[in-house]
A and B are shown apart, each in its own frame.
Chain A
């Protein structure tokens, strides 16, 4: 069956460290994968998009990798700050369909 999975347990890290979040999928062939941030009571905010032919994408302190052989994307936040505390969602698209399929999200807590 098709699945997209993120670590369901919350990730707690110390300020200044690098946070790494994982997104694994099975039985999909995504054209691209997106990462979003969601704060309590708010809508998801787009962070980064990475396509199937891209290995890595960066934006300021954020880095995303996409390994279509492992069927995995990693999301890194370097020099993390308490303001980075939120739930992070990965979502994949099989291209042209418009539909995004979301993981259940991983909650990140950065302690000062």
Chain B
């Protein structure tokens, strides 16, 4: 059973370009979360999605960032017009549910975004 998969593992963009980060959850998991880890800082929650729905986007910057989790295919985190401050590691996690024994979140290897 494959774990959470993210691609690309490393992404280099110039200021003003768009970055698209992909996440395929573990098999059977319908809950996806995105976190950002800035250098020397802890993981910060960005957004929580279920299939075709954004449940909680309280950690997402209001501008330039968007996320989706379509009925078919991976979850996408999209950053438009990237700036140097967007350089970070972006992690995706998935879970079976959000309560009981189903709420453990399993993380992918991350995408390291570098903005030149």
Contacts and interface: CB of A to CB of B under 8 A. Distances in A.
A57 B110 CA distance: 28
B52 interface: no
Given A89-B42, A103-B42, A32 B103 contact: yes
Contacts of B42: 89, 102-105
The main secondary structure of chain A at its interface with chain B is loop
B75 to A, nearest CB: 14
Nearest to B108: A43
A74 B95 CA distance: 24
Given A34-B105, A43-B107, A96 B59 contact: no
A95 B44 contact: no
A89 B45 contact: no
Contacts of A102: 35, 42-44
A99 B48 contact: yes
A82 to B, nearest CB: 23
B116 interface: no
A46 interface: yes
Contacts of A86: none
B33 interface: yes
B107 A98 contact: no
